[in-house]
Structure 1
Amino acid sequence: MNENVARHTQLAILAVGLLSFTGILVETSLNVTYYTLTKQLGVSLSVLQWLTSGYLLMVTIVMSTTAYLIQRFAAQRLFQFAVAASLVGTTLCAIAPSFPILLLGRLCQAVATGIATPLMFYLIMALIPHRQLGQYMGLASMIISLAPALGPTYGGWLTALWSWRLIFVMIIPVVLVVFWLGQKFIHLPAKSQQRRFDWPGLLFLAVALVSLSEGVESTGTLGWYTLTTWAWATIFIAAVVLLVNHARRTESPLLNFKVLADPAVAMWAIVFFCLQFANIGLSFLLPQFTQNVLQSSALTAGLMLLPGSILGGLMSPVAGSVYDKIGPRWPLLVSNGAILLSCLLLWGFTGLLTGTIITLLYMFFRFGFNFGFGNTMSDASTRVSGPLKGDLSSIFNTLQQYAGSIGTSVLAAILAANERLMPDKKAAITQGSQQSFFLIAMLGLIGIVLTILITKYRKARR
């Protein structure tokens, strides 16, 4: 890090970043415990996946409020509340005797992550000089993208060592250290401007997100042509229409969609969404495939993802530095190209996959993801100024979390649909995984197309 950035600023960012890291680490740690939890808690995978998708859904809803919260409250007060929510949620999860209590604890943890993650990015955008923005955004991306990849290894190791409960127990001392750091070094006051909180907007957004997630799950477990599926689809469409109409009329919308008026920002938002859908979706899918098809243990399933985790984490600051020097085009083309190719290979050779092949292809995938993820938000942030940066951070972080939630729900629904239609679970998981690999590959293709369009748009504007 450059010495021009004060040490207390670096430690403030570190404190919030570590709180975000712990939340996301636990999120993906549970992916390798589902095989165990379905037996211990007596629930199906389609229900159990709400520990991830429900968590991310709550994170999304909380993140949608951060544009208001950042202006209304000082950074340290928001940080204190996030730490309290994290400690309550982690404790509930560690002692949970049943699925509902475990889910309640996860939702409390989601509140903490939903505040900490956008607060970290806001501190960076508010305190870091423009010439170092890419570097610090890359480091922030490394923190939040390393966690989901390390999670399966962490969760698999602790589950094999003793119990899945240890995943939560080990987090508590880390959160306490983070609290001490934040109390000492976070000093960013609230914005002077005040605006009313958009309660109707929050209600419409929450209903839209929940109904879409429920509809996706219903499609997988019940099928397309059922009353339940169509009911959720109707609720989703109605909520979206109400949300859009409300946002047009109110002076202080929950999410300020005006930042998406610039076509380049809007297209970067889509690329950002696709990248996170692919990232969280694949980190959910591969442990299910390795445990159910390859009959691997939770620890082995986690270890398969570890080399890719390390490579991806190392690539984030490098990608940020490359962006600072040459701009977004080539980093994003390389990023989405790697995602496209790696997932096409997973799709083409699904029936021949081994632990070694999965490890190598996941390394290629993580290289691609981390080479582009932080740079999308970095470039989008250069196209807005002043108070709109907080709105941009809120929208992008909301998209990031919901992409993970809906990505998990969609891939879980694909697996559930195949299990419903095929009596052999191993064959169903194999076919469902193959379909999912192809879907993720197409997201990489979308990213390539949009990156090219953004480049042409920017040249035309010049």
Structure 2
Amino acid sequence: MGLGSLVIAFAPAIGPVYGGIVLKYYSWQTLFILIIPIILVIWLLGEFSITQKFNVFSISFDYRGGITLTGLLITTLLLIVSTASKSNYRIFLLLIAIICCILFIYFEKNNKNYIIDISLFKNRQFDIFLISFFLLQLMSLSMSYLMPNVLEIIFHLSTAKTGLLVLPAAVIDAIMSAVAGIIYDKLNHNFPILLGEGLICVSFLLANIISVAPINLIIIYSIFMFGLGLSYSNIMTRSLANLPIQSTNDGNVIYMTAQSYSGAMGTAIAASILTFTQNDYFNFINGTLAGLKINFKVLFFLSIIVLIFCTTIILRDKKND
């Protein structure tokens, strides 16, 4: 899991640098043109390396579950964005989200070809670790959005310089993802999770105390990514390891869904807060700074929740042992 997370974690390290350098010299369309050959290479690698080990069989797709789950995810995301922008459609979106949620649970409860095995949510430990995982990814994408935007808007840095400044933090995250897996296997399952959550809390505490300057932001981001690398993949590993073998695939599906959706939600929340304060202030830079400070307060609150959740589960397990 650590090595797999290393690959995923390394993407934020390469993305801003690649994007920043390309945008400095070429148009934004070039970003996508240069990616096309990479996609083709990945496709060929997949064709030669991925093998089908089991017999393929056909099952009917759960359209009712798929439609209601899609409706739930989309309306919830729109609800968050509309709340930050003071939209008049909030009540309408909330009602649709509630209806979609109820219908999804109803359709999936007795469906053999379910999209998600909702019975896993009866497992309290699985739920708490999943929420922690969700919030960590949300915080990660929020920071990935905030750091380059703030460095460019407030301090007028170029996209190339911004990419290079956030590179060390992303590299730290990638390396620690692999190291955390070794610590988990060789030393202690709980240590990297608790240490990582503690460092994340410290990073956002510092973010709310020290002044906003490029070097301070890079230090805060590096501490955050260090803690994220230690805890992120290990939370998923520990959670799935406690599931029955026959439920592992379903648990993995839920985690991957949470990972994708929390990333979208994290970016939406950070962007909405930033946009709200930018529009609320006469000075665009002052509005951006105010939005950054509000985001840091929100992220600090979420980091405390994750630390409490993980600590509670780990202490309860030790007590039961």
CA deviation map 1:286-331 (0-9, x unaligned): 1121111112111122122101111111111100010112343211
Cα–Cα, structure 1 residues 326 and 247, in superposed 2: closer, same or farther, change >3 Å?
farther
1:312·1:370 contact (CA, 8 Å) conserved in 2? yes
| Alignment correspondent of 2:152 | 291
Q: TM-score, normalised by structure 2?
A: 0.94
Aligned equivalents of 2:275, 2:114: Cα separation in 1 = 37
Q: Which residue in 1 is equivalent to 2:311?
A: 452
Deviations 1:105-156 (CA, angstroms, capped at 9, x unpaired): xxxxxxxxxxxxxxxxxxxxxxxxxxxxxxxx10110111111233112111
For structure 1, which segment, 187-196 or 307-316, has the greater mean C-alpha deviation from structure 2 after superposition?
Answer: 187-196
Match of 2:174 in 1: 313
Aligned to 1:347: 208
The structure 2 residue matched to 1:153, chosen from 17, 41, 47, is 17
Deviation at 1:236, TM superposition (A): 1.2
Pair 320,298 (structure 1): closer, same or farther in 2 beyond 3 Å: same
Match of 1:169 among 19, 30, 33: 33
Matched, 1:278 2:148: no
Please provide the CA RMSD for this pair: 1.8
Are residue 303 (structure 1) and residue 182 (structure 2) matched? no
- Alpha-carbon offset, residue 261 of structure 1: 2.6
Q: 1:398 matched to which residue of 2?
A: 257
Residues 177/426 of structure 1: CA separation in 2 closer, same or farther (3 Å cut): same
Deviates more, 1:175-184 or 1:408-417: 175-184
Q: Does the aligned pair in 2 maintain the 1:381–1:389 contact within 8 Å?
A: yes
**Secondary structure of 2:208's partner?**
helix
SS in 2 for 1:390: helix
Deviations 1:256-291 (A, max 9, x none): 122233222111101110110010111001112111
Change (3 A) 1:166 1:369: same
Structure 2 Cα separation of the partners of residues 415 and 270 of structure 1:
24
Q: Is the partner of 2:268 in helix, strand or coil?
A: helix
Report the Cα distance in structure 1 between the residues aligned to 2:45 and 2:156, rounded to whole angstroms: 43
Superposed displacement of residue 211, structure 1: 0.8
AA in 1 matched with 2:81: E
| Whole-Å separation in 2 of the counterparts to 1:260 and 1:215 | 24
User: What aligned pairs does 1:39-438 form with structure 2 within 5 A after superposition?
Assistant: 137-190=1-54, 195-221=59-85, 223=86, 226-349=87-210, 352-438=211-297
What are structure 2's unaligned runs of at least 5 residues? Answer: none
* TM-score using structure 1 length: 0.66
Indicate conservation of the 8 Å contact 2:277/2:287, yes or no.
Answer: yes
Task: Look up the equivalent residue of 1:411 and give its one-letter code.
Answer: A
Identify unmatched segments of 5+ residues in structure 1.
1-136
SS in 2 for 1:170: helix
Percent identity, aligned pairs only, is: 26
CA distance in 1 between partners of 2:258 and 2:16 (Å): 23
- Distance in structure 1 (CA, Å) of the matches to 2:79 and 2:278: 18
**Deviation digits for residues 147-203 of structure 1 (CA, Å, limit 9, x no counterpart):** 123311211111112122222222222222222222222113346776432111111
Count of residues in correspondence between the two structures:
321
CA contact under 8 A between 2:205 and 2:300: conserved in structure 1? yes
